[in-house]
Amino acid sequence: MPLLTKAVRGTRDVLPQEAYLYRYLENTALETARNFGYAELRLPVFEHTELFERGVGGTTDVVQKEMYTFFDKSGRSITLRPEGTAGAARACLEHGLLAEALPRKVCYALNCYRYEKPQAGRYREFRQFGVECFGAAAPSADAELIALAAELFSAIGLEHYRIELNSIGCPGCRKVYLESLREYFQQHQDTLCGTCNERLAKNPMRILDCKSPVCASVAANAPKVVDYLCPDCQSHFSAVQRLLDAMGIPFTLNPLIVRGLDYYTRTVFEFISESPELEGLTLGAGGRYDGLIEELGGQYTPSLGWAMGLERVLLQLKTGNAPLPEQEPCVLFIASRGEDAATVTMQLVNALRAEGLHVQSDIAGRSLKAQMKFADKIGAQYTMVLGEEELQTRRANLKNMSSGVEEAVSLDDLAEWVEQKIIQTMQEDLQAYFNE
């Protein structure tokens, strides 16, 4: 019988053999962010469409082409979140978090949705970790934010990437730059793609972000935004670079970075893969968005943030053979013979689990032989068989499934024995790591 349906194109099922790695990335990211003063924020999957039209920008590809938008049963326009910043800003405004001590630092791990062409590390439903800092205007905030990303990448063993940095100025100096940029691209209208000709009228900075080789070659000789920065923006950008240098965080200046969302101002940056297989892939990005809170109805609040795509980061880690953790194994599988033994087995398993141990037993009514085959398939480190004799003596043999060595253990001391074996195994693995 054929399957009724399959996963929608652009989505994917994260199966158990990989799901734990996402949990590892999220937990490491949340813990790293906590050390920088960031508290976790959880957001709704969908928002009113106007939040993204106003916050992200009506001229962006995200709003014009990529959002999943629909009308609910009350006729309101609703959109699945395409990114996390706008929702985080809305939540902090709505609940008065920006009226408290500033800066307010929040972070999140969430799913986002964009109708894009699926490709390596990019899906229409994707997982993102992000941090947002509201109420910090100083260049040190920009530098600290990038330092957080560098610290996180170090913690998960991510290598072979570069930080690209730029400043797109404030609304004042950008206005002059846009006039110069529009004048330049008007001279090349016949060369630009249809999309970029539309961008020329609405926001010529979007052309700098076009992936068409033809448009990219034209953009390479376009006026550079850093040449139009006002004194304040130039001073801010210079200070960010100086602070990054002081912390030993390498970066590359890229005057073509503009980011794809309208809310950005001043500092913008991207984390770009330098892995041979993934060269040029953007692992994460962010920057400053000083006008966003005001755009959403709040008071002027200088802010900044960044986000990384977990699929892309995990792809980079796997490609680079980073030391990813192994999935937690089943420490002990207890097999049983007979109804009385099965009852005691359930009691033992339940008690061991209460001690925080990963222990399993048969719940499918299998024969003893089938139980042992199952224990081998799930990779149980130790096995034990309980029967009538073991119940009478309150002792049973535990078998190390790797070495085949068996050891008699009292059922009353089973929890303590298993815990000692876990500690011993961890010490042996650690010693083996240092010996390498």
Q: Which of 154, 168, 302, 287 is nearest to 227 (CA)?
A: 168
Show the domains of the chain with their CATH numbers: 16-170+230-319 (3.30.930.10), 332-428 (3.40.50.800)
Nearest-angstrom CA–CA distance, 378 and 192: 57
Distance CA 256, CA 227 (A): 12
What pLDDT is attached to residue 145? Answer: 97
C-alpha 203/C-alpha 43 separation (Å) is: 30
Tell me: the pLDDT tens digits for 385-400?
Answer: 999 999 999 999 999 9
- List beta partners, residue 251: none
| pTM over 0.75, yes/no | yes
Q: Is 190 helix (H, G, I), strand (E, B) or coil?
A: coil
Provide CB contacts within 8 A for 155, sequence distance 6+. Answer: 28, 32
Per-residue pLDDT of the chain (436 residues; tens, 9 = 90+): 888 999 999 999 999 999 999 999 999 999 999 999 999 999 999 999 999 988 787 667 788 889 999 999 999 999 999 999 999 999 999 999 999 999 999 999 999 999 988 877 889 999 999 999 999 999 999 999 999 999 999 999 999 999 999 999 998 888 888 888 888 888 888 888 887 887 887 778 878 877 788 888 888 888 888 889 999 999 999 999 999 999 999 999 998 887 656 678 899 999 999 998 898 899 999 999 999 999 999 999 999 999 999 999 999 999 888 889 988 889 999 999 999 999 999 999 999 999 888 999 999 999 999 999 999 999 999 999 999 999 999 999 999 998 999 989 888 888 787 777 666 665 555 455 445 5
Segment holding 334, helix H or strand E: strand 332-336
Strand segments (E) across 135-281? 161-167, 252-253, 265-273
Find out whether 265 and 230 touch, Cβ atoms under 8 Å. no
